[in-house]
Amino acid sequence: MNRDRWKTIAGVLARQGILVAFALFLIGFSIFSDRFLSPENLFSVIRSSAIIGVMALGVTVVVIGGNLDLSVGSMLSFSTVLVVDLHDKIGPAPAIGVMLVATLALGAVNGLLVGVARLNSLIVTLGMLSAIQGLTLIYSGGKNVDIVNQDQTWFKIFGRGSIFDIPTPIVIFGICAIVLHLTMAYTPFGRRIYATGGNATAAVFSGVRRSRVVFLTYLISATGVAIAAIILGSRVMGSQNNVGQGYELQVLAGVILGGTSLLGGSGTIWKTVIGVLILGFIQNGLLLMGFEYYVQWLVTWVVIILAVWLDIAAKRGRLLSPIA
């Protein structure tokens, strides 16, 4: 009886552990702060998490496909600087268009090097992280950029506006999550991504064009960065050259917490959403409890290590070891 019960508990933790952890975090922080579960605080946390969340959705697709993308932080810096700088020069709509094309071009470089040239994704995207940051500094001349007439442009709707009393960043985050969830769960393209990440050799023998699939996953990741840049630029109405520094780690942390395996082939979009929100609520809860900002990084590190261990242990069957 005890063995059967342990099997049931282990099975639930392996499949839905992220939801259990999310509920425990919400309950725990709400005990220490009565402001934690207030509607104002909840909306604030989700809105602040939207930028990382949109990027994490794209990176989730890359990781499910069996690769990594560490260049998203520098890519966010470049895209935000570009769209803000061009806003006053050519107008908001053309600026968004040019930025989208430029960001997709950077994603295409990643896709070609990893998907077509078959180079290691960790090395490629780590190198691109430095290269894109250098490109950002060259473009801006090392100077920060700002939008002049901030109250007179419709561009502010993306970061500061609301739709039916829901902050626009949350709406955008939700739409992106729904679109990618439907794509990954119910389309042949989504199944090909899972197949490529799970067993690339078997996928190729099954008729899947691995190079094309990997290339498209990096374009999806770049699209997520472009959308995040629009939200960030609209919210701040300006940009520093290193505004995206460190975002790649937070994005990857959200993906890992969502249960997407770094080994590829498994993961879901909606669990990445939960993983990103867990990070956001951890940071918010610690601040409400009076902890210093740097404590967030330590707690986040512990949570990430625990999440990775649970992922590996579940796949190797170690969660069931007490019943052996």
What pLDDT, on a 0 to 100 scale, did the predictor assign at position 1?
A: 46
| Contacts by 183-189, CB closer than 8 A, 24 or more apart | 184/61, 184/64, 184/268, 184/269, 185/268, 185/269, 189/213, 189/216
Averaging pLDDT over each range in 13-27, 168-182, 191-205, 283-297, which range is the top one?
168-182
pTM: 0.89
| Residue 147: partners with Cβ closer than 8 Å, 6 or more residues away | 84, 87, 88, 153, 155, 233, 237, 238
The pLDDT tens digits for 55-96 are 999 999 999 999 999 999 999 999 999 999 999 999 999 999
Structure tokens at 89: 């020069």
Q: Which amino acid is at 48?
A: S
* Backbone dihedral angles phi then psi of residue 148, each to the nearest 5 degrees: -75, -65
What pLDDT, on a 0 to 100 scale, did the predictor assign at position 324?
A: 37
Confidence of residue 323 (pLDDT cuts 50, 70, 90): very low
Whole-angstrom CA distances from 53 to 57, 174, 258 are: 6, 9, 11
| Residue 10: partners with Cβ closer than 8 Å, 6 or more residues away | 319, 320
Answer for the pair 190, 265: CB distance below 8 angstroms, yes or no. Answer: no
CB atoms within 10 A of CB 200: 18
The pLDDT tens digits for 255-277 are 988 888 888 888 899 989 988 99
> Mean pLDDT for the chain?
87
The mean per-residue pLDDT over the stretch 116-139 comes to 95
Rounded CA gap, 316 and 311, in Å? 9
Query: Among 22-31, 163-172, 277-286, 315-324, which is the least confidently predicted range?
Result: 315-324
Q: Which CATH architecture has domain 18-315?
A: Orthogonal Bundle (1.10)
> Percent of the chain scored above 70 by pLDDT?
89
| Residue 166: partners with Cβ closer than 8 Å, 6 or more residues away | 43
Total residues belonging to the chain: 324
Rounded CA gap, 324 and 205, in Å? 37
Q: Taking the domains of the chain in order of start, what are their residue ranges?
A: 18-315
Q: Single out the residue of 148, 141, 135, 143 nearest to residue 78, CA to CA.
A: 135
First to last CA, the chain: 14
* Orientation of helix 39-64 relative to helix 247-257, angle to 10°: 90
The pLDDT tens digits for 86-121 are 999 999 999 999 999 999 999 999 999 999 999 999
- Is the CA virtual torsion 68, 73, 75, 76 positive or negative? positive
| Residue 129: partners with Cβ closer than 8 Å, 6 or more residues away | 70, 71, 73, 74, 248
